[in-house]
Structure 1
Amino acid sequence: MSLDPFLIRAALAGLGVALAAGLLGCFVVWRRMAYFGDATAHAGVLGVALALGLGLPLGLGLLGVAGAMAFLAVRLTDRTFGADSALGVLAHGALGVGLFAAALTPGPRMDLEAVLFGDVLTVGWGDLGLIWAAAAGVAGLIWWNWGLLLTSTLAPDLARAGGMDPRRGSLLLALLVAGLVAVAIQVVGALLVTALLILPAAAARGLARTPEGMAVAACALAAVAALGGLGLAVAADSGVGPATVTVAAGLFAALAGLGRLRRGGPVA
């Protein structure tokens, strides 16, 4: 039985986003940056609204606003603001302003459901090329800067002693997350992209003993979630974004339960 071309494109798009999210997600989990991912992803709604209002390409609006939000979040959390409070304000403020701006945008109404929850089945070959180019760029930059990113994440004092600037690592990671958000919103949506960053990486923690091993495991689990979510969505006639996150959550729950059983502790 042959697959429809739109399903093949959807599967390839999901895989591209999943591989990049698996790599970046490890650093998000290590740095406890869940709110940072939310702030950057929610800014995507504002980016779409501004792009439509100004007649700009959606990708440009998404990347510009998500990048600005990432830079602002890094600057705020480096100052006197508490990290959780600052990122919480940015995350919810960006979503509220974005939804308000969408309501005021002239012309055809923005498809808020597609922006919030994704619509991977509408991905074209041009979008697919952009997604895989972004995934390759994320993977290449992480590989090239692995030492800086890992050391500034796990041991900032050691990074300074070795002549590295941890702030450079934080800014690079923030911009990479912004780039991923800009291309991932069409696949899983602004409300769910952070879940795809966190769940596979968190599930991979118990499968590896080294950071490199965890990154590989996270990519594999994210790929399973992407393909499994597509299959679940087709079978249940539901949205692909929520189905993908559902599969990722199921993988996390199953692996967490197996880990507790191996250690002899209660599952609950």
Structure 2
Amino acid sequence: MILDDFLVRAALAGVGVAFSAAPLGCFVVWRRMAYFGDATAHAAILGVALSLVLSTSIFAGVLVIAMVMATLVSLLSGRGYAMDTLLGVLAHSALAFGLVAVSFVSGVRIDLMAYLFGDILAVGKSDLVLIWFGVVFVLGLMRWRWSNLLMATLNTDLAYACGIDPRREQLVLNLALAVVVAVAIKVVGVLLIAALLIIPAAAARTFSRTPEVMALLAAVTGALATIGGLQAAYWLDTPTGPTIVSLATILFMSSGFVGLTRRRLSRGMSPPGRGSG
């Protein structure tokens, strides 16, 4: 079967994560929530540790802890702490407790590197099923809540006037991010998940005139970075997760250069203003 090829499984897993991360990455960029994605990813290490201690599914442990983090952030925001302070405390506390808990479990130090930086080449068929289950869930949730999330992102007062609760939409977005973190940990690891969320969306922003186009281009950019990163890692014998993110960064820099060149050309071709005489 075609899924017996580990490179095919890796490509399918990476493309799935790119597709699910694309619309969420757009909201992360629009809402300036980059630190939240990083905080949720760091908290995933605590989920890994608890899964190892309790001998349960890694996916389930990461998903539960990521959702707890998302819920805590939603509940505690606006309660006297600045958002960056709150995220910093929760993220680094969860990461520290997770690393301490892992140290008490024997024989997991090598595996811990895979959770930190990803091990996409080790994705199995069961992992692939879980990843694509999460992809379908996230895309379905985004399709269902897209208009409400956009309204809550653009103008909270207008959202309230339309009967939309921005805090509820924030919670929906946070929970969707938790699912993406859980499915992406095998692909790029907790230290690079935020990069895969932000960089493709930032690269797509240059060429997008509508939110929907930006989400689509972000998905294409993420998929290209994944497939190209897999090939580059195979040829260069480099770590796969960091190579994927490095290629995404190159695509982002290229898009920025193209956008800058296009703006300079448009200014150069604009007709001169009329004189006052």
For normalisation by structure 2, the TM-score amounts to: 0.92
- Shift in Å, 1:108: 2.5
In 1, Cα distance between the equivalents of 2:36 and 2:67? 12
Aligned to 2:11: 11
Aligned residue runs from structure 1 range 90-169, under 5 A: 90-105=90-105, 107-110=106-109, 111-169=111-169
Where 2:238 maps in the other structure, the secondary structure is coil
CA apart distance, 1:101: 1.3
More displaced stretch, 2-11 vs 139-148: 2-11
Distance 1:158 1:191 in 2: 36
Aligned to 1:39: 39
Match of 2:82?
A: 82
Equivalent positions of 1:1-268 (< 5 A) are 5-105=5-105, 107-110=106-109, 111-264=111-264
Alpha-carbon shift at residue 4 of structure 1 (Å):
7.1
Letter of the structure 1 residue corresponding to residue 81 of structure 2: F
Partners in 2 of 1:82 and 1:189 — Cα distance?
Answer: 28
Q: Decide whether aligned partners of structure 1 residues 172 and 3 sit closer, same or farther in structure 2, where only a CA change above 3 A counts.
A: closer
Shift of 1:93: 2.0
Q: What TM-score does the superposition give when structure 1 sets the normalisation length?
A: 0.95
Query: What number of residue pairs does the alignment pair up?
Result: 263
8 A contact 2:203–2:256 mirrored in 1: yes
Percentage identity across aligned positions?
54
2:185 aligned counterpart, secondary structure: helix
Task: Check 1:229–1:3 CA distance in 2 against 1; reply closer, same or farther (3 A cut).
Answer: farther
Contact 1:35 / 1:91 at 8 angstroms: preserved in 2?
A: no
> How much does 1:212 deviate?
0.8
The alignment's C-alpha RMSD in Å is 1.5
Distance 1:33 1:222 in 2: 19
Q: Which amino acid aligns with 1:204?
A: A
Shift of 1:76: 2.3
Gaps of 5+ in 2: 266-277
Shift of 1:138: 0.5
Q: Distance in 1 between matches of 2:4 and 2:232?
A: 16
Which AA in structure 2 matches 1:233? A
The unaligned stretches of length 5 or more in structure 1 are: none
Q: 1:74 to 1:3 in 2, by over 3 A?
A: closer
CA distance in 1, matches of 2:37, 2:104: 26
CA distance in 1, matches of 2:241, 2:91: 20
What letter is aligned with 1:138? Answer: V
Which amino acid is 2:5 matched to? P
CA distance, structure 1, for counterparts of residue 43 and residue 87 of structure 2: 12
The alpha-carbon deviation at position 86 of structure 1 amounts to 1.1
